[in-house]
A and B are shown apart, each in its own frame.
Chain A
Amino acid sequence: MKSPQPRGPLGAAVLDALTAAAPRTDAPADDRLVQAARRAVEHSTDLLTDEDVQLTLFVLYELHYAGVEGVDEAWEWAPDLLRARAVLEEAFERELRHRVTVPDGVTADRRAVADTLFALTAPTPGPSLSRYVGRQATDEQLHELLVHRSLYQLKEADPHTWAVPRLAGAAKAALVEIQADEYGGGAPDRMHSALFARTMQGVGLEPTFGRYVEDVPAVTLAAVNAMSLLGLHRRLRGAIAGHLAAFEMTSSLPNRLYGDGFRRHGYGDDVTEYFDEHVEADAVHEQIAGRDLAGGLAEQEPELVPDILFGACVCLFLDDLVAAHLVGAWERGESSLRVAA
C-alpha cells in the first residue's frame, strides 16, 4: 500500500524513519522510535480508538504482509522498529485482555470448546450492523461499509495463515482446509479477496489494498491489527485459532443480510457474490474451525483453552465496537469515515 499520512507524533516519527534505508546490522541501537512508542502509549486515553497508535501499528504490521510502497523491505526485521512495535503490542494486548470477559472453567475437550464458542457467538435478536445494512442502509452507507472492510477483506485470511506452521496434526489440517477454501481452492478468481475486489469494483470503488486507509478510523484499524497481533506471535496461536472460529461463526447469517442490502439497491451478482459465497462457505468453515481447529487444538494443548476463548472474545468485542461506530454514525446522519484532522 501507499505510505499513509501520520495521525500524530508517533506516526510522524515512524513514517519519517521508514523513508530512509533500514539500519545496517552493525549500526548502534537507536532508541528514538521506542521512546516515541512509549510516549504515545502513556498519553493515550483509549488505545483502541487512538488514531496515532492504531495507524502506526497498521503500517508496522503491513511490513510483514505486502509491504509499504517506497519502504526498504529490510525494515521488517529491524530491531529498533521491532522494539517500538513491541511497546505498542504489549499495551494493545493488555488493553484487550482488560476489556474482554473470557469464560472460565471450560474443559480441554473438543465438544466443550466448540459448544462454548457456538454459545459465545449465538445469533441475538435486536439491532445489529447486518440488520441495518440489510434493511435501511443508504447506497452511500454501503460504500462506507466496503471502505471499512477493504482494509481486511483485500487480504482476507492472511493474518490467520501465520498460524499454520505453529500448529500440528488435526488442528493444522483443519486450518489448512479452511484457508485453502479462503484462497479459492486453487482458483485465483475464487479467492475471497478477489471476490471482494469485484464487489468493490462493482460499486465503483478502487480495489487496491490500502487505497482507503486515510478514510478509516482507528477502531477499524484496531480490529485488523488485533488479527495481526494474534497471528504473528506463536505464543498467541490459541488466540488466533479462537479468533478465526468466532469470525467464521458470526459470518453466514450476517452475510445474507449484507447481500440483501446491496440487492435492495439494485446491485447484481457481481457485487453480491462475495456475500453469497460467505453464506455458504462459512457455514462449512464454522464447523471445522469450532470443532477441529479450536476443539482439536484444545485437546492437543490443553493449556491454550483460555487463549482460544480470549481470541474469540477479542474478535467479537472488536466487531461490536466497529459495528457500534458505523451504526452510531449512520443513525446520527453522519459519515462513519474519518474526517482528516
Chain B
Amino acid sequence: MSAADEHGATPVRGSIVACPDGPLLVRGDVPVVDDRGEPVVKRRATVALCRCGASAIKPWCDGSHKAIGFEAP
C-alpha cells in the first residue's frame, strides 16, 4: 500500500474544541448518535454541538448562547 493509499484509508482524527461561552466544535471522524445509538446525520464536515441548552436545533448550535448570555463553566 502506498503512502497515499494509507493516508486515504486513515480516518481524520477527531477533535472537539470547547469554544469559550459557545458550542463544542467537532471535527473529524466522530459519530454523533442519539440516546438509542442511532446516528444523527452530520450535514457538514465540522459541526457545532449546543452547550447552553437553548438551541432550537439540538444537538446542533444555532447561536442562541449569545442571545441568553451563556457563560461556560
Contacts and interface: CB of A to CB of B under 8 A. Distances in A.
Interface in B12-38: 17, 19-20, 22-23, 25
Contacts, number: 61
Interface of B is mostly: loop
Nearest to B66: A123
Q: Sort chain B's interface into a size bin.
A: 20 to 34
Tell me whether chain A's interface is mostly helix, strand or loop, or mixed: helix
Given A180-B45, A284-B25, A279 B66 contact: no
A281 B60 CA distance: 9
B44 interface: yes
A300 interface: no
Interface string B35-61: 000000001111110000000110011
Interface residues on A, range: 20 to 34
Contact of B66 (A253, A281, A291): A253
B56 A280 contact: no
B60 A283 contact: yes
A256 B17 CA distance: 25
A118 B60 CA distance: 19
Interface string A267-285: 0000000000101111110
Interface in A153-178: 177
Contacts of B56: 256
Nearest to B25: A287
A59 B17 CA distance: 42
12 contacts: A185-B44, A190-B43, A251-B63, A253-B66, A280-B43, A280-B44, A280-B57, A280-B60, A283-B62, A284-B23, A287-B22, A287-B25
